Structure 1
């Protein structure tokens, strides 16, 4: 079912649960873009009209209810032999899982959950729907603590007279009400009895009635009184125990008359004035009836005679009566006792004989988990039980291994079918050919299949092939292997000789080609590309790849170059006239011109000795996002700075006058002189540093 689209709308994503009648999947509503729960009738029941009617009854019952504590029904459909119900998806867990994890629950939490369940039942009963299967498995707890009642699969209208279906009682035996177990009319109070058991289990961590078989549990519901919950958990307040005891009375008339009354009792049971209230007492009609049938000893003959003597008048003292003769009155009672014992013995024998005729043989369900399907079926057949098989595609156990069974650990009627969940086995992958491919490419493909890097090993051998080329592989092409047990081995080529790659960046194209030839490397036919550059002069190498400076490279390897094609089209070249004036006229002063523009950064453009005022021409390059800053230093003192922007270039190009540059007098402090950010004096990053007047590289001006 995983991946299937039902009704062209509901995509099945994952299995999240299941019961005796249906499986539940997590799905995605493609139309409304929301998560949904999809309940699908089990395949073995798709031709059973009774189960189909019961499945549809659940949809009809739940769809007629609209309540915050009842799971909403969105859609019902049938596609081929798949019957499904689309329901609200609840992020959370079941109350059954919560009990297993945290039981006994805090009293406040248990009362809070029970109150919400009672609210849902009150709504259902108001709409004449009896749930009939209230149990922790059918109670969902959302992440926000909201309770949702689900699974109305055996619900009936309140006017229905019986719950028997072709002689069988439908429901969960541990949560049966006594009238449910007898197969008589089940009404609203039966749901409240089941809710009482759910509360008992939440607060004690155990069920009130246990037995070796479902029949024995049902009989205990009919005959035995429940043990007080406070004996198992003394922390339960008396008021809460009273609610449980009242909900679990054998006689429906002694229980709560409605879910609303029980909910009202739950809302106040934790108030301080109620916690220690008196234990609830119920009317015992048998103990108060003076006319009830009693077992009394028979009156002996001598007792009867003395009684008669007391009533007679006193005889005259002179008249004597002869003493009565002792009779044989004991014979008659003994005869009647013997006859009664014979009748009871005959009845006992007859009852045993009739019981033997109608008794159903039960057997213990053997545990067949972790056995092969063949062994499990043989063992179940030997135990006079049948089996149905469910394939589990997600299990990683060996193929045809029983990973779980339902039921287990209990006695069942002869001929009952046990559901076996069998592993489909780990999927196998067919080995493809990776010969001739690069090792890194093959690893990426195998990792995409789910194979870990530590499952892939390789050995190297020296050949004329390019390095890391796969020459041999194990497993061979077409061999199948399991994903978890995969062990992939490659034999790959190894370069004959390696050396450190020199730096070609900054060389001219001719110099770089000569160096590549000298090193026995290869320049592919399309190995040279050209790019515009502000930083690198035209005709010089901007970048080399795939082997950078000082990386290992083998003889015969291919290397490509990116060559500068000069300045970009939008580069602006400006000539700036820089005025300089010596400190003392007629005496030499040394001025340094430092340029930061689109081509250089802190480049010492030139150094000039000046003995009289004059202008020095400085060529700079600006770009739309990079201005030019010219710093003029006399010795180590900043005496002037000039800034040119791309707008200045556009103005000059269009014949407009460029605004005069700000000047700084020699006496001004460096902090006041600099109109832009402080720029340290340094090299240009290409081996040119301060010193004598330096000529700028020609690459940016060509």
Structure 2
């Protein structure tokens, strides 16, 4: 797909990752001129319509989240048989890679990362969104150190599909909550269990449960106690171990009751008064059948038969038998004990098999029925409605009627959750009163509400009303409208006459003044130093940018460069960089933080042997610490930072 354009807008640049469900590409958004990440669904999934519908719906639901620690979702689309999600592009690595390279982490760093994940989960849970697949692979760490959680809601689409990816399941099962392993409803506390495992792994560089198959690992989540983190890494404070163990309790009622509660403990656990707190004691409230049962190995006793009174038996033998007449009691007791234990073992095995072997049931089609009728019909066949129910506006179906469901006419297990989508009827909104507002504000508000250029009409006319103000609108203010099939029209004043503001940047002062006078505009000149513009040339204009409507007589301020400050120092700093493996390609990227800006991209190059880069740096005395920084990245990992001090030049 490299070089392909999606929707005529997103240009695919290179692949940056992938998983069991999708491939991830770095792309350029040509419309907004920014880098984005695009998750493209693998081809084997594109023919399952239920899965696609669920995939899109969950992605759109996750797009409602707005938090600094959540990867933003910008767009969801389809082109031919390519289904994709457009997301915020994070320059950095994922937590799984960091754990492989650096674990165990310092306790302070592990807590700092976990706090950011927990804050993101708190925001999601308050918006009724459960992640369901918290694991290091879904935690991104930017080059600035900020943690971003991704794939909100997408795990739910994957778990609801009949399509499976063994590698994907194997990767996630290490982070399953016990209720996930049992196939029952997962809530916010399931996310906190998975987060506890992530923290455990960062602190110890090992997973709490491992095995040869996903089933064996899932059973350990249900049955086995986790090895305490301090036994693996004695440097962990007791307060931190308490957080790990509390979040990983098998009984959800013994875990943290919310992400906010867990975040409170995380933020205070390294304070001196809490680090050596007492170890928490958890009562074992698990059901008996969830414990591992240890069965004794029993040898079968030989069957004891009592001899009848046979007169032919030798008297001595008969006399001995009389002495042992009551010797049969002990063997009989052992026999009955053996039978009881074997029966108990058989009953236990049958109970375990009964838990694992769940009856099949066909999912009825409840589309077109009311929510109450659909719920009753599903419960009658021992299925349940997934909470919360999904609601969507529908112009054709009245409110309260089921318009979509998961797994209809398929065979599933008893107690399987069915997702219902219920109509909210025709969506109506109230039109705002925009008359008297500036058009640029009105346009921004309309696009925030979901209007596009195709259904917004703007016409201008000369008027005594100030330039740029709305003087008429349709639909009129306070009227109802359907956002799915409405076009809006606005009349905007041009004032008594206006024209587009000319671009004065890079013009000499004399040429800029001549243009302003020719256009009938007044002007004011301000002078200042500028590192990029030669002396005597305009480097800024205010308050009208090029192309913006401006009226005759308006005052324009032009900022004229005085050239570089006298105390500027420049240098080409030598930086020696070697490839990761001598003779093999290594991609080198270099950024500069100096008087011209922060993290300016300077150059990228692929090397196979050691090379010297001469990096141009501009310094002024007012730089923080009087220092410029050169950051070098090799194969997208930080190679090193080189400091250039003003006082040393």
**TM-score tier after normalising by the smaller chain length:** 0.3 to 0.5
Q: What TM-score results when the alignment is normalised by the length of structure 1?
A: 0.42
Q: What TM-score results when the alignment is normalised by the length of structure 2?
A: 0.45
Question: Which of 1 and 2 has greater Rg?
Answer: 1
